[in-house]
Amino acid sequence: MREKDTQYILDWIAIQELVAEYGQAIDFGKDTGDWSRWVNAFTPQVVADYSRLFGGEPITIAREEMGKLGGDALAAFTRVQHATANTVRTHFKNDTEAQVMAYADVAHFFTAGGVQQEWTVVIRYTHDVEKTSEGWRIRRVMLDPIHFRGNPVGLELVKGKRLV
């Protein structure tokens, strides 16, 4: 177990900030088309495991490609909002590696038949993070959907279906 000294506290705070930034940077990317904040949350190579939502297998991808991945997945939505829980569990493996679990309610907004719709998914994110020369970054992300509410068409939209 890692000693809880001043460096531990600084690292713990930095990781909390990184986990909050992950969700807020997605929202910012969707709102502005600028995915650089989200891309910056990752190590140069990242394992993205969204298979529990989309099916398929985890992928290893260059962080520069993560913006396109996020933009494509959220293309059908007018807005998204990540409400990340402020209770995040961090398990330090050593001074430069940790695993973080965080819960989030992620609301997805879209219009169907001229009416505003919402689809929300409650998610448990598991992030494997690494301390790099750039600071703490996400090396692996795994999204585990816990519960869905709202218009179920949202699930189809996030999987690529488009409304006419």
The rounded distance, in Å, linking the Cα atoms of 93 and 149 is 35
- Tell the residue number behind the tokens 């494997």, with chain if given: 128
Residue 35's pLDDT is 97
Residue 164's pLDDT is 60
Residue 81 within a domain: yes
The rounded distance, in Å, linking the Cα atoms of 8 and 131 is 12
How many folded domains does the chain comprise? 1
By CB atoms closer than 10 A (0-12, 13-18, 19+), residue 26 is buried
126-155: average pLDDT: 96
Residue 164 within a domain: no
% of the chain beyond a pLDDT of 70: 98
> Strand pairing partners for 162?
none
Residue 137 within a domain: yes
Residue 163 within a domain: no
Residue count (the chain): 164
76-100: average pLDDT: 91
Q: Could you report the per-residue pLDDT of 43-87, keeping only the tens digit for each?
A: 999 999 999 998 999 999 999 999 999 999 999 999 999 998 866
Residue 104 within a domain: yes
